[in-house]
Amino acid sequence: MAILLIGLNHKSAPVEVREKVSLSRPQIEKLSKKIRQVQSFSGCTILSTCNRTEYYVNADSPFAAQEALIDLICGYSGIKPRELAPYLYIKFNKHAVEHLFSVAAGLDSMILGESQIQGQVQDAYEYALNYGISDNILNTLFMNALTVGKRVRTETQIDRHTLSISIAAVEIAKDYYGGLTDKTILVLGAGETSELTSRYLISNGAQSIMVANRTFERAEWLAGEIGGRAVNFTELAQYLPDADLIISSTASPVPIIDKEVLLQAQSNREKPLLMIDIAVPRDFHPNVAELPYVKLFDIDDMSRKTDENLVARQQETAKAQAIVNEELEDFYFWLDSLWVVPTIVKMREQIAKIKESEIERAIHRIDNPSDREIRIIEQLANSIVNRWLHQPIINMKSLAGKRADKIDCYINAINDLWGLNDDDKKSN
């Protein structure tokens, strides 16, 4: 049993690679059918956001699982293994668990301490449950990760000194134009990210916001929430000439706007157009930047945004890391204890056979034993067995948590001394 993590994120891979590997919920559901067929996987949970795609796998054979998982990623992304390899990070066991806990805490985010990741970890957990690809080990792992995230945001102020991707996008727009009061803004998408972006636009002085979404009712709802105007997604071309700023965060698998779309909509445009793409896959084709009036920012540019609260957040990082370390130790104490469970079961089964045999022998030595005498013999045998097993079992569980590095040696020694593997050999 081993926990394997294979992933890539904003630090290891550029957006053009991340967008090919990124998975939406319907795509995760579709991929789950293939995951369930991988024999080397005991369980799998996928965490896919705009900044990362990570696979957490519980496997008896981690190296076989690693090979199968890379084949799976390359299969749906269309990237060859040798091309993908430089962007991947691969972690095992404690390193994998520590990474997930750090992610949930916001310590591995593009913007330190951002809070959206908590909900994304929750979604990953629920998707895995709903699609039947997780197992008890990974379920417990992700529940503990959610606990880490909650504790960090409750016991530290790391999220009170942070900027989300949405806020970073608005800050870039403010810096570029020197203010947003007189700017006409087009928001593409009406999901959570677009909602956060729109609300922050309003709080920073924006007064004219158009919202376009493939589902018009959702666009109407968001526009109503912010005092904006819903526009038809299929008629974007007529609204592009008026826009000073376009911020996009949709779930489109292909670019929504490219150079040709802009040229057709506004062939004689001269006034500047700021385009901020916070979607993965990207909503704006990179070739829009070839137009002289366009200034394009994508999600990777968010990482280069000056963070005014960086010092304050870093002061909280040590507190958050202490929580991660504490929860990591607790989780691994539990996980390591699972290693001894099969041995404990075998010990109990072996002792039970001996006990039943000896009870039967004792009863046969008594002429016409009464029911009371039989109960006394059985109670005595059970008491002796339970008392004798009690302390060894406690010690085994304690050793599993305190001496995880030696637990394999301890378990093997116990199995050899007790002959616990002999029954397995006979059954085979």
Strand order in the sheet with 89-92: 43-48, 52-59, 2-9, 89-92
The residues, any chain, with a CB within 8 Å of residue 308's CB and separated by 6 or more, are none
Measured CA to CA, the distance from residue 21 to residue 52 in angstroms comes to 9
Integer CA distances (angstroms), 167 to 9, 111, 198, 226, 228, in order: 20, 10, 10, 16, 18
* Six token digits for residue 49: 């956001």
Region for 78 from its dihedrals, namely left if φ exceeds 0, alpha if ψ lies in -120 to 50, beta otherwise: left
Is there a cis peptide before residue 272, judged by omega within 30 degrees of 0? Answer: no
Strand order in the sheet with 229-232: 229-232, 208-213, 184-188, 245-248, 273-277, 294-297
239 burial level (CB within 10 Å; 0-12, 13-18, 19+): middle
44 is catalytic: no
Q: What residue spans of 204-284 are helical by DSSP H?
A: 216-226, 259-265
Catalytic residue among 44, 50, 74, 409: 50
Integer CA distances (angstroms), 115 to 35, 172, 293, in order: 29, 20, 35
Please choose, from the candidates 61, 64, 47, the residue with its C-alpha nearest in 3D space to the C-alpha of residue 9.
47
Measured CA to CA, the distance from residue 305 to residue 19 in angstroms comes to 21
Please choose, from the candidates 48, 49, 66, the residue with its C-alpha nearest in 3D space to the C-alpha of residue 57.
66
Measured CA to CA, the distance from residue 302 to residue 313 in angstroms comes to 17
In this structure, what DSSP letter does residue 12 have? T
Measured CA to CA, the distance from residue 85 to residue 145 in angstroms comes to 27
Provide the annotated active-site residues. 50
